[in-house]
Structure 1
């Protein structure tokens, strides 16, 4: 039985928002850690030696276990309590970050990066459930709306921070500082975590070993070739792995239905798929995060490859996007979503598409101003979309389904981000040597994906 807990109304106001800040810091740490090493990778390889392919594995070793264990991480929160699993995950993240910073060889660093990814998979699925526990009504929309700007700023700051810390060589730490930065953040989160409200599923579920194995294998077979292969082309072996992964997930879906019919405890709450709202939300999330993550890569690549700009300049180009997203996420969560509901979601998609079309016509240009303005419009749209999406996707989720829903949403976000890097990055790099029209192709492709999002978002509306 779940322990008796105070309601959100009875919890001191200041601690609810302090707890939210801790949850968002944990989200930021994950996003920073998935991108910060990309810039520091060559320096790490120069210091530790090893094969050149290790540079890619410094990031892949983190991304792969994180993606495949998200669903299991959500279920662990259902079983043992979301606050407890969150604290265990943050502790593991802290210790593995220290181990990464102290690694004497590339092989050990790759191993500790995998532990980091597994710890992050225990942290991130608990965020949505804990927010739903601590907030209600308009407060929940505002809290969920804060996720968007944090994700945007973290995604932009990761490469910039990695370059700054590595170049600064603080106290002779060189590349090790990109991992040590997690230590004070983790300590801060752990200090505030006891103030969070504990929460778990009303009925204690099981881990479902067969379902866990199938889900892990299926997601791994899909994600691995996307993060390991050259994003401009996939080999026959990669296509075979992707096909096998899809087949395993089909088997997984059948296994979950059979387990539920027999009265067992499936890894995923099958009831989530008895209504069209949640499956449509998963598809929408996959497409939308493919657009946003893929485009940030395209902008950085165009600046560095097409215009020979520095890493810092490339990162700063994304600042208008993040500023726009920060402003409208707060406004939408605090005022617009409580008043207008899912109409804000469609308004956000409309603004995103307008910004993407404007970005297509921003190339070629003698001045960076047209592109910066277009990215600002895209950011404004993303900020409108994010709180409305999470509110619409989760309002039909029961307490028993929260862990499965959070794990699935975060898993498809990761999958969407990986697909976005592969598809939009490939659309750009597949152009003629990084010429301006290659960026136009990538932005036009993103606009097409955003139009599909409009259709899948319409399916999120519950039938009358």
Structure 2
């Protein structure tokens, strides 16, 4: 019986972490469809509308790597709780905002708080699980992330239409309070040797990431000078990390091809996934005249497909076939994109279901394989970097696919770019499945 009690506590702790993951991703996407309603009640320039979302994603992307290192230093459970508390308070401020300026400021605080929460998840899971159960626990992250990101626009549409746009932010409050109340289930975890915070590296990565991401989400258009400056600073960050006594990013993560391949695959996959979720509702509303609820409901087949395939992949496909399942997922995703491109809006329901099946089939083996060989002292760096690249990929997807749609007035070009990115993602993750470096994802290993 004591063993059963410990098992229940471990899986309950995992549920706490997954709710926090879901809360962040819901908030990152839920405002996308509520933006016009917010603008109608809080008058201001039309340029404010994109910043209702961008004010969240920019600080989130900028502080992710630093947030991961803070967990290494002060304890991941402690930093996690601090981030959740800040997120709840910022959500209340968003819901009560009397004007657009204060709403944008509160959204920025939300994004910074999320950057404290998300990098701690992987380390806290590793503190509670090992062996075959660790792979199973890590495999739950991808489906939750994907499903939450897809559900966000739908929930945003329903809450905005049925109640008010303020309910979009208030939904975080009970979720956040529940996480804080259940956080006692989390076991404290930190790096065995307490590192120091690399201040020079922190300044370089914050400034470089900010200059790289800001032009991509700036509604005024892409500023190539800022992009170039961001790239230069991030290159300087890479050189500085090689010489730093306590680097933000552990150099040992790049000793083998697996983790760099995971970063490239994450960048490309989330560019496709986030870009599609931006273009489809945009095309339905701007191009076909659908209302906000119809646009949100259109993504429902994608959500259903993702949920079903995630469960099947985790319970049967990955234990039986291992990391190679990723390619089957990307093939399904590519088939769905091509079907939308060829069949138009009439093909959206079943084509999006096909995309969802592909997303779920890909994410379960991908996250398990990407984190399989990460050692305890590398956890904070790996989590922060993987999440930062994922966020950058989503931003690139919105900028590229959304920009192509707005520039051409047709979804065909955007879907074509998404198909090309899906093919590139398949090439990028090859090192994760090569015989030499491929992890054993079979459930039999832990038995």
> Which of the five TM-score ranges fits, normalised by the shorter chain?
over 0.9
* CA–CA separation in structure 2 for the residues paired with 1:333 and 1:139: 12
**Is contact 1:353–1:451 with CA below 8 Å preserved after alignment?**
yes
User: Where does residue 93 of structure 1 map in the other structure?
Assistant: 87
**Is contact 1:138–1:334 with CA below 8 Å preserved after alignment?**
no
Displacement, 1:11?
Answer: 6.8
**Is contact 1:268–1:404 with CA below 8 Å preserved after alignment?**
yes
Displacement, 1:373?
Answer: 1.6
User: Where does residue 445 of structure 1 map in the other structure?
Assistant: 417
* CA–CA separation in structure 1 for the residues paired with 2:131 and 2:323: 14
* CA–CA separation in structure 1 for the residues paired with 2:76 and 2:431: 30
**Is contact 2:332–2:358 with CA below 8 Å preserved after alignment?**
yes
User: Where does residue 402 of structure 2 map in the other structure?
Assistant: 425
Runs ≥4 in structure 1, deviation > 4 angstroms?
Answer: none
Of the candidates 313, 322, 326, which is equivalent to residue 345 of structure 1? 326
The one-character-per-residue Cα deviations of 1:261-304 (angstroms, maximum 9, x if unpaired) are: xxx10111111112111111101100000001101111112211
The one-character-per-residue Cα deviations of 1:145-181 (angstroms, maximum 9, x if unpaired) are: 3333333332233223223323333xxxx33222111
* CA–CA separation in structure 1 for the residues paired with 2:37 and 2:300: 26
Q: Is 1:396–2:373 an aligned residue pair?
A: yes
User: Where does residue 248 of structure 1 map in the other structure?
Assistant: 233
* CA–CA separation in structure 2 for the residues paired with 1:10 and 1:242: 53
Q: Is 1:287–2:268 an aligned residue pair?
A: yes
User: Where does residue 359 of structure 2 map in the other structure?
Assistant: 382
The one-character-per-residue Cα deviations of 1:112-137 (angstroms, maximum 9, x if unpaired) are: 21111110000011112222222334
The verdict on how the C-alpha distance between 1:175 and 1:111 changes in structure 2, with shifts beyond 3 A counting, is: same
Displacement, 1:206?
Answer: 1.5
* CA–CA separation in structure 1 for the residues paired with 2:313 and 2:358: 10
Alignment of 1:309-324 (within 5 A): 309-324=290-305
The verdict on how the C-alpha distance between 1:372 and 1:168 changes in structure 2, with shifts beyond 3 A counting, is: closer
**Is contact 2:253–2:259 with CA below 8 Å preserved after alignment?**
yes
**Is contact 2:151–2:303 with CA below 8 Å preserved after alignment?**
no
* CA–CA separation in structure 2 for the residues paired with 1:379 and 1:48: 35
Secondary structure at 2:94's aligned position in 1? helix
**Is contact 1:146–1:330 with CA below 8 Å preserved after alignment?**
no
The one-character-per-residue Cα deviations of 1:28-57 (angstroms, maximum 9, x if unpaired) are: 211221222233333333433343322222
User: Where does residue 460 of structure 1 map in the other structure?
Assistant: 432
The verdict on how the C-alpha distance between 1:270 and 1:11 changes in structure 2, with shifts beyond 3 A counting, is: farther
The verdict on how the C-alpha distance between 1:333 and 1:219 changes in structure 2, with shifts beyond 3 A counting, is: same
User: Where does residue 242 of structure 2 map in the other structure?
Assistant: 257
* CA–CA separation in structure 2 for the residues paired with 1:141 and 1:323: 24
* CA–CA separation in structure 2 for the residues paired with 1:11 and 1:412: 37
* CA–CA separation in structure 1 for the residues paired with 2:342 and 2:199: 52
Alignment of 1:38-437 (within 5 A): 38-169=32-163, 174-229=164-219, 234=222, 238-259=223-244, 264-363=245-344, 368=346, 370-431=347-408, 433=409
Displacement, 1:209?
Answer: 0.2
Farther-moved stretch of structure 1 (104-113 vs 447-456) = 104-113
For this pair of structures, how many residues does the alignment match?
Answer: 435
Displacement, 1:343?
Answer: 1.1
**Is contact 1:156–1:315 with CA below 8 Å preserved after alignment?**
no
The verdict on how the C-alpha distance between 1:339 and 1:205 changes in structure 2, with shifts beyond 3 A counting, is: farther
Q: Unpaired runs of 5+ in structure 1?
A: 1-8
**Is contact 2:65–2:381 with CA below 8 Å preserved after alignment?**
yes
Alignment of 1:25-36 (within 5 A): 25-36=19-30
* CA–CA separation in structure 1 for the residues paired with 2:272 and 2:366: 15
Secondary structure at 2:429's aligned position in 1? helix
Farther-moved stretch of structure 1 (196-205 vs 155-164) = 155-164
* CA–CA separation in structure 2 for the residues paired with 1:349 and 1:461: 14
The verdict on how the C-alpha distance between 1:70 and 1:440 changes in structure 2, with shifts beyond 3 A counting, is: same
Secondary structure at 1:52's aligned position in 2? coil
Farther-moved stretch of structure 1 (298-307 vs 135-144) = 135-144
The one-character-per-residue Cα deviations of 1:392-432 (angstroms, maximum 9, x if unpaired) are: 1111110000000000000000000000001111222222x
**Is contact 2:157–2:296 with CA below 8 Å preserved after alignment?**
no
**Is contact 2:58–2:210 with CA below 8 Å preserved after alignment?**
yes
* CA–CA separation in structure 2 for the residues paired with 1:129 and 1:255: 25
